[in-house]
A and B are shown apart, each in its own frame.
Chain A
Amino acid sequence: MKTFARTLLFASGVILLAHYLPAGYWLLSAKMRRPPIVYYSCTEKQFMFFRYTNQTAIRMDAHGKVYEREEFERILPIDHWMQLLRDGKLPDTVGGVALTAEALRRERLSFRIKPTMIDTPSVNLTPLLDADTGRVRLEMPEDFMRLGATIEFIHAQTNVVEREKSALFQRAFAEAGFVFPATVLGGNPSTMKPYDEGYYVADATGATFHLRQLRGKPDIHRVSSLASAEDKPKWEALKPIYFHVQEQDTREVHAIIVDKSNQAWFAVGKNYRLVPIPLQHYDPARMSLVVRGDLINRLISATGEDSVEAVVLNRDYGLVDRYTEPLVPRAATPAGKLARAIFPFTLRFEDVSTGYLGVFTEVGSRIALLVNGGLLVLMLVWLGSRKQLRLSRLPDLLAVAIGGIYGVALVFLLPKAD
């Protein structure tokens, strides 16, 4: 029993040190590392960047030329239209499109999708707003919708299921051909928005449905039957894992959909046109997706730890330009290389890819293996010189072999075998 206890003590010690020592190392040596912000100039037809280096920020273009702030703002008229308007420098038209303050304000699109939005703890209850109450402002309903194996509405104040409303919606779902249980649900449960798009739901077969509440009555349709003839097969083939709904003034983009094959799509327009976002290296679990749209273009950038990719689409969602740039990941910086050499493996319990806790391991470089081997040899020699090379010391040696410096620290801290 005591060998078991001692082995367990060493094992847990190695695990704890593998978590805390690297964390302490990065607490001491982390530096500010922000990825560049990508812009696209509709006048010059090239990408521009806002880069952070050593506590300062530099404005550059793709060739490395540095710009002063006023020149930068002149080249990006739509991103800085308010400042240019105030200075009287806003051009009247760009590419044949008139730049009026009202049009610029109305046509702004802005979305941000982070990995933690896709995989995060959630409760299966959400408020279904009434999109057509006849009032100017949106109001929160008095009940919450539970959409899982069935659809139910629960009145919040009394905590009771509303039988009639639930049955009404259940019938409507059945008529629309919805196969329970629902798998993916996405919407915007807030009243701070210009209108209510409702929710997008994927049923058990993966088909997408659009759900709204109009004057208390359900409004649910299979999207593929609402789409045009050329988009219908695309909707039927779509296997969504995440719906992102963020109502904007333009009312053009219904939702951004991320599917199983890591492809992101826009659902736009009256006919639910499904437009693929032509990013080549988008990994929804590790990269954040930012969409900035204006009167002329849509700029979509995917930023991860080791790369930035941006695509520009015109108002008709045709590809205009593309930019890719590899970034230096933390593991490739000098501090990161040192860390990978001395820590044979590190354990983290939180990760950028998810809101859940888990066990995330990173293995060190081959140098760490050599370091481990060297430490093991030293430990054998040291124990041998003290005539303590016994079988009961096996946990110590294993800890040094697997854990390197973690094991060495533990051999000196923990009780010796008797």
Chain B
Amino acid sequence: MFKALVYKEWIKLRLYWTLIVVAHLLFCVYLCLQLRHAFKLHDALAVWSNWVSKGYLFFKPAKNIPLLLGVVLGCLQFFPEILNKKLRLVLHLPLVEDRAVGVHLLAGLFLFTLALLPGLAVLAVCGASYFPWEFLLNFWYIYLPWFLGGYAAYLLTVFTLVEPTWRLRVTCLLLSAALLKLFYIDSFYDGWRRLLPGMVLLTVALVLLPLLSSNRFSKGYGS
């Protein structure tokens, strides 16, 4: 049952997913080309000191992509379900209700991670070839909150969409906006290193929210 559900989600999303992977990869390649251009046009020393003392990061334009991707993937995956109330069908399967929805979420999170990894690999390789190893460390520390923010965005989108009543959907939206802002505090770089464990815990805790919504959905609220 587990495999069948994951496969069903894959079939539903594969076209969009391929598009997203390709678009993200191309965007990361574009960022690397811009970095290469910067190194050709200026002294390597000037670019390094821009990074170290001014915090200029060539991958900063990619900051909002995990967030957008999380929201888009959440919408693409769950909008069809709620439009036609198809979620009911899934909840009638001989599976514990939480487990069914949990499998959907896992499929989504897994696809999300796979979608971002090729682009990230490109950025990391490019950064490593132009900058010293401190930069790679820098890179992971900075990208991790954005990545976690993407997971959080996905989970909160599902939370909002599956919630059956409009009144609470608005509350969900406000809560989501407030929570997501925490992942995108603009600091110099590395500024949130000490917050990282807290962020990870928060993201993991957020898995509970969509389960709460689907619970209310199956109980028949608002429909």
Contacts and interface: CB of A to CB of B under 8 A. Distances in A.
Contacts of A30: 37, 40-41
Interface string A24-59: 000110111000000000000000000000010000
Contacts of A31: 40-41
Interface in B136-195: none
A248 to B, nearest CB: 28
Interface in B35-79: 37, 40-43
B31 to A, nearest CB: 11
A27 B41 contact: no
Nearest to B44: A55
B218 interface: no
Nearest to A52: B43
B37 A32 contact: no
A28 B33 contact: yes
Interface residues of A, number: 6
Contacts of A55: 43
A32 B34 contact: no
B92 to A, nearest CB: 43
B41 A32 contact: yes
Contacts of A28: 33, 37
Interface string A260-275: 0000000000000000
Contacts of B34: 27
B42 A32 contact: yes
Contacts of A27: 33-34, 37
A27 B43 CA distance: 17
A31 B37 CA distance: 8
Nearest to A34: B41
A28 B34 CA distance: 8
A14 to B, nearest CB: 22
Nearest to B34: A27
Nearest to A33: B41
B136 to A, nearest CB: 24
Contacts of B42: 32
A28 B43 CA distance: 17
A254 to B, nearest CB: 35
Interface in A222-260: none
A50 to B, nearest CB: 14
Interface in B1-49: 33-34, 37, 40-43
A55 B39 CA distance: 10
A37 to B, nearest CB: 15
Nearest to B42: A32
B28 to A, nearest CB: 15
Interface in B119-141: none
Interface string A1-37: 0000000000000000000000000011011100000
Nearest to B37: A27
Contacts of B43: 55
Nearest to B41: A32
Contacts of B37: 27-28, 30
A413 to B, nearest CB: 16
Contacts of B33: 27-28
Contacts of A32: 40-42
Given A27-B33, A28-B37, 12 more contacts: A27-B34, A27-B37, A28-B33, A30-B37, A30-B40, A30-B41, A31-B40, A31-B41, A32-B40, A32-B41, A32-B42, A55-B43
7 contacts: A27-B37, A30-B37, A31-B40, A32-B40, A32-B41, A32-B42, A55-B43
> 5 closest A-B pairs (Cβ-Cβ)?
A32-B41, A27-B37, A27-B33, A31-B40, A32-B40
